[in-house]
Amino acid sequence: MSELIASDQTGIDLNEIVTGLNRYLRLRTTPIGMKLFERAADMEAIPRIRRPSAIHTTDQIVGMAARNGWTVGITADDLVGAQCSTVIGLHPRSDDWLSGKRMRGVWYQELDDARAHQEAMDVVPYGRFEAMVASPLTSGRLNPPDICLIYATPAQMILFINGLQWTGYKKLEWGCVGESACADSWGRALASGEPSLSIPCFAERRYGGVMEDELLMAIPPAYLPKVISGLEHLSNNGLRYPIAPYGVNNDVRAGMGVSYDS
């Protein structure tokens, strides 16, 4: 795990962060946190923790937190297979997992392509963690989470990214593994400590309840005060959500002149 995730996450008022996100972006879906635990007993000690009574995908566990507002804890035994548990570091990147044989003929025509997909996935290194919890940020039960998961429409998400870039500008670059896009979001963010955007995949939408117009940002909480501050400045400049259409036929100078000096 990165040093950023391992430390420097305390002292952030997540209730205030969620209030700011809703003020500037009007999110439809509950912002949640995800946290890995070295001992399953520590996961089970969280107040009002829910434990699955059936086998699920990680997408469903995330969906229970984001769509139902639940705090849910899992171990590898609660997940349907290694594809899910490997991404969050609860199962090794075994030869069987890397082979991609279960994906051949389903998502990829050739076994070589399926294997290349598995090798391209960002995952948490195996051996340190036994459990994971997903919970709404405002519950305060993860204190703090390793990462935050924020679902938003493309229009909301670009303003979120603009807020992140308001100070300390950095070009943000991400990849897309296709199916198993959880590797692009929570897998990459947990492993790298960096903001990680994804296009949620078929499984996330079918099993996790992700809406067809939603993108997912996985981001360590230490970045979020910066995002809110940036969104405030953008809003003060008239750059806010919802983005009102100007009209394709209108003279653009009147609109552009509000924001930019001639």
Give the tens place of pLDDT for each residue, 120-141. 999 999 999 999 999 999 999 9
pLDDT digits (tens, 9 = 90+) for 223-260: 999 999 999 999 999 999 999 999 999 999 988 988 88
pLDDT, position 7: 45
All structural domains of the chain with their residue ranges: 3-243
Instruction: Give strand pairing partners of 148.
Output: 33, 219
pLDDT, position 257: 87
Q: Which residue has the tokens 């996790």?
A: 208
pLDDT, position 260: 87
Going by pLDDT thresholds of 50, 70 and 90, the confidence category of residue 10 is low
Mean confidence (pLDDT) of the chain: 95
Mean pLDDT of the region 81-108:
97
Query: Where are the alpha helices (H) located in the chain, listed in sequence order?
Result: 3-6, 14-25, 40-44, 58-68, 82-87, 95-99, 111-120, 154-164, 186-192, 202-208, 224-236, 252-259
Model pTM?
Answer: 0.94
